[in-house]
Amino acid sequence: MDFGRISRRHLLQGSAALTLGSALGARSALAADTTIGFIYVGSRDDYGYNQAHAQGAAALKKIPGLKIVEEEKVAETDAVEKTMESMINLDGATLLFPTSFGYYNPHMIKMANKFPKLRFEHCGGLWSEKDPKNAGSYFGYIDEAQYISGIVAGYTSKTGKLGFVAAKPIPQVLRNINAFTLGAKLANPKATTQVIFTGDWSMPVKEAEATNSLIDQGVDVLTCHVDGPKTMVENAARRGAMVCGYHVNQSPLAPKAYLTGAEWNWEALYPKFVKMIAAGESIPNFYRGGLKEEIVKVSPYGEAVSAEARKHADDVKAKLTAGDYTIFKGPIMDNKGKAVIAAGTDRGQKDPELEKMDYLVEGVIGATS
């Protein structure tokens, strides 16, 4: 589509879509030539992290008057700076989404200082007061969705043994494992989660081996936190185990085995950002949220999920969406028998203590080192 020759009609439609209809004729912050750049660390159809962001970008493409430029497989080195500069200088991008964790410091910070009039939005939740004001960092509490997956997994598992294929023992991953396990224990107090760390974000052969080993141990519901869940989902389904997805909806890969999954909801968040800019508001530099803020979502339940599980999961989901439910509510013991959250202490989603998580809760079989 030639954006240079965009008609006035398109422009008006675009404005209306951006709730700018009332300000007819007024100069909008988003003109027809607004270009938004998306940068991905991997390939954007990986059934994983990058695809989730690409779906968000696709949601923006539907809004008339926006031009989206994308580049995939950009390394977390100064390569990303070059990509950002070329998007700015050649494509005229005014809003950039470098989506990978490692793009932030120093690369995105450097660019934000160099182009103070442009807006940079990073996925990862790293922004702090000393960073440039035109930079922002957003992230979702996806452990809320993992908690729901855990409930469904706890009800569905016949052996009470759940499996988790994880990349590295960093706080975010541990938080997902713990939330999944706590959810499963709501359904079945005896449920355990066996975790296997593969050591890196994308190791297909190791992930397949981990999946097979878990199933050999009697695990019958698996989930994961790796960049591309495709390997785990396909191999588990082939062995007759059930799966809960991650990042995006993987049910097309294993329609019978797919129970539910923890998904990013960038296709809801990105248009919100664009609306904020169009309305002349500034995007909060530090933007976080979970189910309530529509930053994460839960996949539709698969056919193998029982009515009881659906009811319980929907109930908790409704409470989380309303914002009056705490997942990490004391007393919580770690799997070495130490109290990590004391009785009476509620660690709400935004509690910074949770960002430092370095333990696995009781019921998880595995170690962080």
- Positions touching other proteins (CB under 8 A) are 42-43, 45-47, 73, 159, 194-199, 202-210, 212-218, 228, 230-231, 234-235, 238-239, 253, 365-367, 369
Distance of closest approach, residue 48 Cβ to other proteins, in angstroms: 9
**Cα within 13 Å of Cα(314), Cβ side:** 9
Smaller CB separation from other proteins, 102 or 204: 204
Q: How far apart are CA 306 and CA 75, in angstroms?
A: 43
CB of 205 to other proteins, least distance (A): 6
Which is closer to other proteins, CB of 144 or CB of 207?
207
299-303-308 Cα angle (round to 5): 85
Q: How far is the CB of 189 from other proteins (least distance, A)?
A: 18
Nearest Cα residue to 67 out of 42, 92, 43: 92
With respect to other proteins, which residue has the nearer C-beta, 50 or 349?
Answer: 50
Closest approach, Cβ 79 to other proteins, in A, equals 15
Q: Which of 150, 126, 276 is nearest to 222 (CA)?
A: 150
Residue whose CB is less far from other proteins, 26 or 205: 205
Q: Tokens at residue 3, please?
A: 């954006």
d(CA 201, CA 211): 15
CA pair distance 173, 194, nearest whole angstrom:
14
CB of 360 to other proteins, least distance (A): 10
**Nearest residue (CB) to other proteins, 28 versus 249:** 249
The crossing angle, in degrees rounded to 10, of helices 230-238 and 204-216 is 40
DSSP annotation of 190 reads T
Q: What's the CA gap between 70 and 258, in Å, rounded?
A: 30
List the structure tokens of 33.
Answer: 């030539």
Nearer to other proteins, 110 or 238 (CB): 238
CB of residue 280 to other proteins, shortest distance in Å: 39
